[in-house]
Amino acid sequence: MTTLTTTPLAPLLDRLFAEAEEAKAGIDAAVADLSDEEQARLMRSKTEYRDLYGRLKRAPLAVSRETGALLYMLARSSGARTIVEFGTSFGVSTLHLTAALRDNGGGRLITTEFESSKVARARENLTAGGLVELVELREGDALETLEADLPESIDLLLLDGAKALYPDVLALVEDRLRPSALVVADDADVSPEYLARVRSPAEGYLSTPFGEDVELSMRLG
Ligand SMILES: C[S@@+](CC[C@H](N)C(=O)[O-])C[C@H]1O[C@@H](n2cnc3c(N)ncnc32)[C@H](O)[C@@H]1O
Q: Whose CA is nearest to atom 27 of ligand 1?
A: 89
pLDDT recorded at residue 70: 97
CA of 1 to the centre of ligand 1 (A): 30
Cβ–ligand 1 contact at 92 (below 6 Å): yes
The per-residue pLDDT for 25 is: 86
- Residue 111 binned pLDDT confidence (cut-offs 50, 70, 90): very high
Residue 64 CA, ligand 1 centroid: distance in Å: 14
Residue from 94, 92, 81 nearest 151 by CA = 81
Quick check: helix, strand or coil at residue 156? strand
Residue bearing the bigger pLDDT, 1 or 126? 126
The predicted structure's pLDDT at residue 212: 79
Residue 221 in this model has a pLDDT that exceeds 90? no
Ligand 1 atom having least distance to the Cα of 53: 25
Q: For residue 164, what is the DSSP state?
A: G
Length of the chain: 221
Q: What is the mean pLDDT of residues 204-209?
A: 97
- Residue 113 main-chain phi, psi, to 5 deg: -155, 135
Query: How large is the average pLDDT for residues 100-121?
Result: 98
Q: Quickly list DSSP for 29-53.
A: HHTTTS-HHHHHHHHH-SSSHHHHH
Predicted structure pTM score: 0.97
Nearest alpha carbon, ligand 1 atom 14: 161
Each residue of 79-89: pLDDT tens digit?
999 999 999 99
Non-local CB neighbours of 29 within 8 Å, separated by 6+ positions: none
Strand pairing partners for 138?
112
Q: Name the average pLDDT for the chain.
A: 96
Mean pLDDT of the region 10-20? 97
